[in-house]
Chains A and B, each alone.
Chain A
Amino acid sequence: MGGKGIRIEGLKKRYGSGDTAVDALKGVDMQVAPGEVVGLIGPSGSGKSTLLKCLGAVIDPTAGRMTLGDEVIYDDGWKVRDLRALRRDKIGFVFQAPYLIPFLDVTDNVALLPMLAGVANAEARSSALELLTALDVQHRARAMPSRLSGGEQQRVAIARGLVNRPPVILADEPTAPLDSERAMTVIRILDDMARKYETAIIVVTHDEKIIPTFRRVYHIRDGVTHEEAGEGRPFDGTG
């Protein structure tokens, strides 16, 4: 269900109203094709988080248009009624910390999403196991998250983000806690997965090590994005 990736046009977000109003986003334009990994870079307070939250459908933008796959989800207002279902089915999340559910084992952490969507347990678990295998952590399928290493946890988190085959994955500083070698590995995995599953991946980061690996990078500053071509270096970790 890769579709056409994600496209954002003129997205604006204003916090507050009247004299104290702050325009966090002043018209953001972005487009990420299926199978593509782009970087989103910006200093603190640039509107990076706000953009991510708008994309993640957890806050309401003020104006603009967002298209996910071939469905317009926002056009000066949400076009889908169930934002939870939208998040569950159409958007994958990978966080800075893995944020796995500590009381579920690895498989169920991944399988939880399809289960929430109403997929039968066995089926959800088999698709989870398939992804875990793809990410090479199938041997930890029954472990509890606390028993995993940081890299393993992040892989499971990525598997969770992918399990419902969303058209877009939002990765928020996915490499922050990792050393450069592991960070590279994560980025390579994201790249592999993007291509394998035809998913658009937006990686929010300020990790200097990994920025050169993106083919395309969006810089965000004062609520406006600027597109740049990335270096597109290979993921060999040599920088």
Chain B
Amino acid sequence: MRRLPLQPRTVALVAVIVPLLALFLFVATRSGPLAPVAVTVTTVESRTIAPELFGVGGVESRYTYRIGPTFAGRIRRLDVQVGDAVRAGQLLGEMDAVDLDDRVRSQESALRRAEAGLQEALARQLHARTQANRYEKLFSSQSTTEEILEARRQESQIADAALSAAREELARARADRDGLVSQRRNLRLVAPVAGVVAARDADPGTTIVAGQTVVEIIDPKSLWVNVRFDQVSAAGLAAGLPARIVLRSRNGEALEGRVLRVEPKADVVTEEALAKVVFAPIPHPAPLVGELAEVTVALPVHSAAPSIPNAAVRRLGEKIGVWQLVDGGLRFTPLRLGASDLAGFVQVREGLREGARIVTYSEKALTARSRVRVVEHIKGAPR
């Protein structure tokens, strides 16, 4: 005889036990390692890839004029400040002459003394030559001895030599004076080109050694960006390519530019390729020299080919490929990958056709045995 259990008690019991068991079963199968892995799926599409190179660099000036004296000395005056625009040939400042003028005067005196010495030598030579001629005549009239004639001849020759020495002495004194004068001219610090004073490294009164920079002038029109590209991703970098330059101070604002040249020498230590990118045109106000710039160089567009997001690229053992969704199951498809762009798309050279469904994102690492659950978007990942 089968007896019915008491109704309300059974209902209450069922109301508690059944949800508990259902919850337990859900928990046992839907969580932990037994649960299917949530994945998102994308369809392989054919698209053109516009690869770009991304590098960072600093704004530099192509020509930097470092102006300083050619000898050690003290700065007497300096008329320009940092930021001043200067013309070509403009006097920027002057070194202290110290005793240079006195030395020039002394040299001029020495020059005049040499001129006087030359006059004296000329007079002596004339006299010696006259005497020699007179004694020639006296000797031919037998009025003097040959010995005396020889002495007169020798004197005339000595006077000739003394004259040419005096001439050389004059030339030397003149050259000495000219040298000092041009040195005095070099005391003047003159702008070689039109530009902007970028640095003023010393102030009047400072003693500096020969070759030390006093004022630095740059030409704002010659600003360029010295960009470093990682060697791994520098393929295709060439002169003439268009570039976008984002300056750190103007975040987000992209300036137009182009690659001027790619340096033939790459950096060995940092493993970077170097290139110069010029602004086209130079923005106003001019960017700061030394400012950090992010440069994106656009490479020629690759023709359309099956492309996948780089998030789909996985590694299984030694092979690189994607997890393909075939008949509800997972299959790892090894790929050969081609060009990629900065938006994260990679072209597939070999291994996938258009329309294939591949796993983009997954909750955890996948294996061929993973059970998957296709979702719109992975839970916990903010949109």
Task: Give A contacts to B, CB under 8 Å.
Answer: 105, 107, 122, 125-126, 142, 144
Contact = CB atoms under 8 A, between A and B. Distances in A.
Interface in B47-102: none
A107 B2 CA distance: 12
B6 A126 contact: no
A1 to B, nearest CB: 25
A142 B3 contact: yes
- Interface residues of B toward A: which range? under 10
| Contact residues of A: prevailing secondary structure | helix
Interface in B1-54: 1, 3-4, 6
A125 B6 contact: no
A107 B4 CA distance: 13
A36 to B, nearest CB: 35
Contacts, number: 10
Interface of B: 1, 3-4, 6
A142 B3 CA distance: 8
Contacts of A105: 6
A208 B4 CA distance: 44
Q: 6 smallest A-B Cβ distances: which pairs?
A: A122-B1, A125-B1, A142-B3, A126-B1, A142-B6, A107-B3
Contacts of A144: 6
Given A122-B1, A125-B1, 6 more contacts: A107-B3, A125-B3, A126-B1, A142-B3, A142-B6, A144-B6
10 contacts: A105-B6, A107-B3, A122-B1, A125-B1, A125-B3, A126-B1, A142-B3, A142-B4, A142-B6, A144-B6
B5 to A, nearest CB: 9
Contacts of A142: 3-4, 6
B204 to A, nearest CB: 110
A105 B6 CA distance: 10
Nearest to A121: B1
Contacts of B4: 142
Nearest to B1: A122
